[in-house]
Structure 1
C-alpha cells in the first residue's frame, strides 16, 4: 500500500475530496441518486479494467455477473429471510464461482472467440433470469427487496456506503497493479508468448483476473438490488455490458483511474440524455446505445489508448519540455557567467 500512496497520493487525495464534498455541492436527492448509480457502475468498470486492460481479455458479459450478484442477494433476503449482510457476501461469492467456471471453460479462447463466448454467457444468464419464475420472478421481476440499513437508509448514507466500497475496490486494484501479480498481468497483456517464456502461468493469471472482475460486478449487483428495491431482467443484458465496455475504453483500458473517469463521463452523458429526452421526445428509446456506440468507435479510431493515458502522456511531455528548457536556461546563464 505504501507504493500506492507514494505513486498516487495526490490523485487519491483529490479523489477523496471530490467524493466527500459532492453531496454537499449537489444537495438535491436526484443528483445524489445519480452519484450512487455511477458509483455502482464504477465498481463493475474497475473490475472489467483488470480483465481487459491488464489481463488482455475481452468480456461482453459483465452485466451478467452484475445480474447474478443482484439476484443472489435479492433472493436470499426476500424469499429466505436471510440478513442483508449475508446476501451481500453471497453476491460476491456466487458470481465469482460463475466466473471461475466460465473462465476455466473458455481459458483457451482468444480474440473474437472469447468475446462471443462471454456474449453468449450474458444471453444465457439474462434468459435464465427471465424464465426462472419460481425463484427470480421471471419477467415480472422482484419487489420489496430490503434496504441496507448499516448506516441508516437515507440517500446520503447510501451514497457514502457505495463510494466507500468504490474506494476499497480502487485501492485494492491500484495495489494489485503495483504488485508482482500486476506486473504479470501487464506482461500477459503485452505478449502472452513472452510472458510464458518468463515462467508466468498465463491461464492462471487470466482466470484470477476474471474471477476478481466477476466478484466486483457481483458486489455492485448486490448493492444495486438493495438500493433500488426492485429487480427485473432488463438492466442485465448486452446493452449494459456495452455501456461498461465503453466506460473502460474511453477512460483507458490500461488505467484503473481511466475506468473511474470513463464511468463518470459515460454516467454523466447517460443522465444528460435522460434529461434531454424529457424536452426532446425524439431522444427517447435506445438513443443512448447509439451515442455510446458512436463514442466507442471514435475513441478506438482516434484515441485507442484512452483519455487518461493520453492526458498523462501529454503532461509528461510538457514536464520534460519544461525541464529541458530550464536546463538550457541554466547552461546559458552559466556560460555568460564564465565569459
Structure 2
C-alpha cells in the first residue's frame, strides 16, 4: 500500500508542476484559451475513462451529458439569476440524474446494443435542446451567460479554475480505481457473470459508473457555458462524443493518466490541423473528423491497449531485460 502511494506522488508532482507553470511557458492568451478548453475536455474524458475503461460500459452519448450540464447552468444563471457557482453545482447534479435514469433503463444491455442505446440518447438530447425553444433558445441558443469570475475573469484565472477542478477529479479517479468500488468495476469489465457469482451487484455498480461519468461531463459543460458566454446545440452531438472516445482510446482506456494524456495529444493535433488549414485551404471543414476516425482505427488495430499502457509495458520490459529478469505478462485490465 505504501509503495502504491509513493508511486502516486511520483506521478502527480511532475503533473502539478506542469499545470502550475504551463501558462508562464506559453504566455499568449490564445494558448491559455486552448489549455482551458483542453481542461474542460479532460474532465469529460476522465469520466468516460471510468465508464468505459474501468467499468467496461460503452457510451457514445457523453456529449449529451456535456450539453445538459452546459444548458442547466446557462438557463439557471441567465433566466433565474442564480450565481454561476450554484449553476455549476446544478450542472453536476442534473446530468447525474439523467445518467441515473438512462442507466436504469438500459441496465440489461451490453455490447453493440448498449452502444446504440447511448447513441440514441445523444441524438434525443441534441434534438431536444434544439426544439425546446422556450427554455434553450432552440437553434438561436442562449447569449449573455455570466462568467464565473475567478481571479478577475481573465484567461489565466479560468485556466487555474478549470485545471484545479481537473486535478481534484483526477485524484478522485485515481483513488476510485484502487478502492473497493474500482475493483468491482474491473470485475464487471472482465466478466459480468463472474462478477455476479462473486456477489457483486452488477446493476448497481454499472449505474454508479454512468452517474459518475455523467456528473463529470456536466461539470465540464457548466464550465464551458460560462467560459464561452453563448451556447447553441451544435457542439453537443455525435462529433464531440467521437472526439471524447478518441481521446480515451489513444491514451489508454484502462489508464486514468492515459485519458489525460490522450486529451492533450488530440488537442495538439487539433491545433496543428487549424494551423495547416491556413496554409492548405482543403483542410478546412470536417477534416478533423476524418483524422480522428483514422486515429481511432489505427489505435484499435495496432495498439488496442492505448499509448500509455504500451509505453509502460515497453519500459518495464527494457528495465527487466537490463536486470536480466523475465518480464511477466502485463494485465490488460490495469487502470493505474
Q: Distance in 1 between matches of 2:268 and 2:292?
A: 12
**Structure 2 residue 161 is matched with structure 1 residue 161:** yes
8 Å CA contact 1:62–1:241 kept in 2: the answer is yes
Deviation at 1:280, TM superposition (A): 1.2
Deviation at 1:4, TM superposition (A): 5.9
Alignment deviations for residues 3-41 of structure 1 (CA, whole Å, 9 cap, x no partner):
763232111111111111110000000000000000000
Q: Which residue of 2 is the match for residue 107 of structure 1? A: 107
Q: Which residue of 2 is the match for residue 330 of structure 1? A: none
Q: Distance in 2 between matches of 1:289 and 1:124?
A: 21
Task: Describe how 1:35-114 pairs up with structure 2 within 5 A.
Answer: 35-114=35-114
**What is the TM-score when the length of structure 2 is the normalising length?**
0.95
Give unpaired runs (5+ residues) of structure 1: 326-339
Q: Which residue of 1 is the match for residue 136 of structure 2? A: 136
Q: Distance in 1 between matches of 2:148 and 2:62?
A: 24
Worse-superposed segment, 21-30 or 5-14: 5-14
Deviation at 1:2, TM superposition (A): 7.1
8 Å CA contact 1:246–1:292 kept in 2: the answer is yes
Give unpaired runs (5+ residues) of structure 2: 326-336
Task: Describe how 1:1-339 pairs up with structure 2 within 5 A.
Answer: 5-324=5-324
Aligned Cα root-mean-square deviation (Å): 1.2
Deviation at 1:270, TM superposition (A): 1.0
Deviation at 1:278, TM superposition (A): 1.8
8 Å CA contact 1:4–1:178 kept in 2: the answer is no
8 Å CA contact 2:71–2:136 kept in 1: the answer is yes
Q: Distance in 1 between matches of 2:8 and 2:241?
A: 29
Q: Distance in 2 between matches of 1:144 and 1:272?
A: 31
Q: Distance in 2 between matches of 1:283 and 1:62?
A: 27
**What is the TM-score when the length of structure 1 is the normalising length?**
0.94
8 Å CA contact 1:70–1:223 kept in 2: the answer is yes
The runs of 4+ residues in structure 1 deviating greater than 4 Å are 1-4
Alignment deviations for residues 277-321 of structure 1 (CA, whole Å, 9 cap, x no partner):
122110111000000000000000000000000011111111211
Task: Name the larger-Rg structure.
Answer: 1
Indicate the SS of the match to 1:104.
helix
